[in-house]
Structures are given as C-alpha cells and as structure tokens.
Copies of this chain bind each other. A is one copy, B any other.
Amino acid sequence: MDTRINLPQSEMPTKWYNPLPDLPTPLAPPLDPVTQQPLTPDKLEPIFAKALIEQEMSPDRWIAIPEPVLDVYRLFRPTPLVRAKKLEEAIGTKCRIYYKNESVSPAGSHKPNTSIPQVYYNKREGVKRLATETGAGQWGTALSFACSQFDMACTVYMVRVSYEQKPYRKILINTYGGEIFASPSMQTETGRAMLAKDPDCKGSLGLAISEAVEDAATHADTNYTLGSVLNHVILHQTIVGLETEQQLKMIGEKPDYLIGCVGGGSNFGGLVAPFLPRKLAGENITFVAAEPKACPTLTRGSFRYDYGDMARLTPLMKMHTLGHAFMPAPIHAGGLRYHGDAPIVCNLMAEGLVDARAYYQKECFEAAQLFLKTEGFLPAPETSHAILSAIDVAKTAKPGSAIVFLYSGHGMLDLGSYDAYLRGDLTNFELPQEDIDSALSLCPNIGG
C-alpha cells in the first residue's frame, strides 16, 4: 500500500464546514469590551471584512469556498496524508500512525488555509493594507504570502522573543513584500507604553495583537486579521479535516484518535471539527489537544470570559484562559504562547469532547528528533507537541488503532531552537499556580 495518500485536486473540498450549528451547546456570544453586552456585528466592521464577520456568526453548516481562493489553494492543496511507518517501527507500536502534512504549503504551515480567504475577502471589500501579529512567524509568513497573491500591503507585528530567535522569518516576510516589526514596537501607543515600562520586554501574542488591532483601528484603509482563535479561522481550517476524512475513506480507514497541537486552536479545530458530527453520533473518535506545560491553557486555564489581547481592545470571549495579562515563558514553540484558546475548541473542551495533554519542551524536541530520524522531515517546534502526543497516545491505545496527527509546519526557519536543543540549552518550564492565579485575578468577572 502507498504510504502517501494523495487526494486528486479534482476532489478537493469546495466548501468549508462550519461547526457552529452542530455544537452540543451554543457558543457563548462575544461581548463588547466596554459595555460587556453581546457584541453587535457593526462593532467589528472598523477592523474586519464584512464577509468574515458574517462567517464568524454564520448558522450555515456549509460555506462555499470562492473560486479565487480555491485557485490559490491549488498551488499546494490537497496536502498528502502520510503513513508514518518508520516512526511506528521505531516506537514498536501496533497502531497505525498517519500525519496530515500541512508543511507543504508555500509558507510551510497550515496557516495559508485561512490567510488566503482573509486576504481575498478584504481585497474584495476595498481594503488596502492588513495588519496582524505573529508568534513564531508562521502566521505572518502565511499572511504575507496571501497578500502577495492578491496585491495587498501587509504589516506584521512579531513577538520579540521569536523575532530574535528566527531572523529568517523577517527576510521571508520581506521577500513576499510584507513589512515587519518586533513587538513591542514603537509603531503603536500600546507598544510604546510597554517599552517605556520595560525596555527589554520580550513580548507576547496578546501584546502583539493589541498593536495590530490598534494599527488597523487608527488607519482607515487598514484592516486587522487574526491567524487563529476566531470562528471564521477555524471554518477555513476545516479544509484540513475534510481532506483528511476523504483520504482516510480512500484507504478504508476510520480514525480512533485525531491529534493537533493547540496555541490558539486553529489547526486542531480545523482537523477535528469535520469529525464532530460523527463523534456526536456515537463513533469512538478521541480528539487530543497537545499544548505546552509553559502555557497550559486547556489543562490549567479557567473557562470564563476574557479579553483576547493584553491591552483589552478585543471583544471578550468565553474561553479557557490563563488571563490576558499572562506572559508565558519564552519557549521555542512561539505559536503556542497564547493565553487563551479558540471559543469553539473551548466549547468542545467544556463539553468533555477533548482530551487535553500538556508537555515539556525538551520532550517535544526529543520527539521531533525521533521523527526526523525516522520520517526524515524537520518539524516546527509547535508541531513537535502533536508528534509527542501521537507517540504518547500510541503507548496506551488499543492495538490496531488508527492515530492521525496534524503535521502543522516544518522547522526550516526554526533551526535556532534545534541549535539550543543540541547544545542542551533548553529549559522545561513548569508554571507556578500563583502566577496563574495572579493573572486570572485581572480577568473581568462576568456571569460567574
């Protein structure tokens, strides 16, 4: 049997799946950050494309993918589903392990699945420039790639610790035609205020979001885009799960475990959401979310309303949070350093539909090196969490189980972190409970 399952391009999904109508309990509505009342769509219009706001709240189960978006998807989609036989042999499992390889996109990760439609819709509505934040740089790269496809200007605020660890990200974003600033930056009020307080501040996703939102809010021709967390982002990412479902069907395989790493939740959400109806109908599919112990949102966070960003500019969302003021340790999986999680993922978690597991970064790098040694490819540090989780699951799963994990990105631009790993310079961060308590004490107290 082929170890790589290629879906013909002619069978690529032409609709995204929207899990909102299928959630067992309705999603708690986002709240206005000032009035704390349910948000009206018009409040989002200054910084988001109307089409995306509609998708954010859409009751429709299926949403057609516009042809110009499909056209760019076809540059790299469908992506292969791969049987990791050498990894299976190395760990001596009797399970079958598959990985859905999203690293084959131009930007090297799953992120273009949503950057492409986000740029498309903004372009269609006359927006001239998009501002965003990026952690490890995957989202910033994906947005600049999509902007180059649609001739859109692009400004990226990159969390400073990652900006310094990954110098090639800046060059790649520039080569795609985007501009990039280390966050906190001098470009925004929020950035300048933070630098005045702490000139050595290493930044966080929450802070970088504040900068990008402020940039968009203060420039009429500029909108904001987010690479994770929001419903429309997970909607776009469902193409990953939909393809995976077709590919598994091609080989007569039913998944027992679906695994993704979780930062904001978009790759995990995009993989598992299309399987939600089957799970709710009684199929025994376990959704496993892998997160870092240094930022254990799902495993140790509180399920409550919180802001999406440090400066409290975003709507309040009900999610598992470590508090919007939480500043995670500088682990190398920069894309997993977010204080909250996608409301859709948290909704599933709260319903007991997600098995969340937290890992130390050294273990993750060890799993990454085993993957490199067996399957040959170099994973992104974020992706290594999903790999370790797949190995972890295989240890206790029933022999014969089918384990599918999402290979969210390659690590070619993260080699600095592998250098640190090889030199023995990595720290395993364990978060003291009092840090969580103190950050959570700053959260608004809404609805108990």
Indicate whether A2 reaches chain B with its CB closer than 8 angstroms: yes
Per the bound structure, the CA–CA distance linking A171 and B4 in Å amounts to 28
Per the bound structure, the CA–CA distance linking A106 and B9 in Å amounts to 23
Indicate whether A429 reaches chain B with its CB closer than 8 angstroms: no
Chain B residues contacting A177 (CB-CB under 8 Å) are 373
CB-based contact A4/B74 at 8 Å: yes
Chain B residues contacting A418 (CB-CB under 8 Å) are 171-172, 175
CB-based contact A106/B171 at 8 Å: no
Closest to A101 in B: B104
Per the bound structure, the CA–CA distance linking A377 and B375 in Å amounts to 23
CB-based contact B372/A422 at 8 Å: no
Indicate whether A8 reaches chain B with its CB closer than 8 angstroms: yes
Indicate whether A437 reaches chain B with its CB closer than 8 angstroms: no
Interface residues of A in 398-425 (CB under 8 A from B): 410, 412-413, 415-416, 418-419, 422
Chain B residues contacting A86 (CB-CB under 8 Å) are 75
Q: CB < 8 Å: which of B74, B149, B413 contacts A3?
A: B74
Chain B residues contacting A416 (CB-CB under 8 Å) are 168, 171
Chain B residues contacting A174 (CB-CB under 8 Å) are 419, 422
With contact pairs A104-B104, A171-B422 given, residues A376 and B2 touching in the complex (Cβ less than 8 Å): no
Indicate whether A148 reaches chain B with its CB closer than 8 angstroms: yes
Indicate whether A55 reaches chain B with its CB closer than 8 angstroms: no
Looking at the assembled complex, report how far the CB atom of A286 sits from the nearest CB atom of chain B, in whole angstroms: 27
CB-based contact B106/A377 at 8 Å: yes
Q: CB < 8 Å: which of B2, B412, B422 contacts A9?
A: B2
Q: CB-CB contacts of A70-81 with B at 8 A, as 1s and 0s?
A: 001011100000
Indicate whether A140 reaches chain B with its CB closer than 8 angstroms: no
Per the bound structure, the CA–CA distance linking A145 and B373 in Å amounts to 8
CB-based contact B104/A175 at 8 Å: no
Indicate whether A14 reaches chain B with its CB closer than 8 angstroms: no
Indicate whether A181 reaches chain B with its CB closer than 8 angstroms: no
Per the bound structure, the CA–CA distance linking A3 and B176 in Å amounts to 22
Per the bound structure, the CA–CA distance linking A6 and B9 in Å amounts to 10
Interface residues of A in 355-393 (CB under 8 A from B): 369, 372-373, 375-378
Q: CB-CB contacts of A417-444 with B at 8 A, as 1s and 0s?
A: 0110010000000000000000000000
Per the bound structure, the CA–CA distance linking A75 and B89 in Å amounts to 14
Q: CB-CB contacts of A279-291 with B at 8 A, as 1s and 0s?
A: 0000000000000
Q: CB-CB contacts of A99-115 with B at 8 A, as 1s and 0s?
A: 00000111010000000
Per the bound structure, the CA–CA distance linking A375 and B174 in Å amounts to 17
Indicate whether A10 reaches chain B with its CB closer than 8 angstroms: yes
Looking at the assembled complex, report how far the CB atom of A117 sits from the nearest CB atom of chain B, in whole angstroms: 15
Chain B residues contacting A8 (CB-CB under 8 Å) are 2, 6
Looking at the assembled complex, report how far the CB atom of A269 sits from the nearest CB atom of chain B, in whole angstroms: 24
Per the bound structure, the CA–CA distance linking A416 and B314 in Å amounts to 37
Q: CB < 8 Å: which of B76, B175, B412 contacts A413?
A: B412
With contact pairs A149-B376, A171-B419, A416-B171 given, residues A10 and B2 touching in the complex (Cβ less than 8 Å): yes
Q: Could you tell me which A residues sit within 8 Å of B by CB distance? A: 2-4, 6, 8-10, 72, 74-76, 86, 104-106, 108, 145, 148-149, 168, 171-172, 174-177, 369, 372-373, 375-378, 410, 412-413, 415-416, 418-419, 422
11 A-B pairs (CB sep. < 8 Å): A4-B74, A6-B8, A105-B376, A106-B377, A148-B373, A168-B168, A168-B415, A171-B415, A171-B416, A172-B415, A176-B372
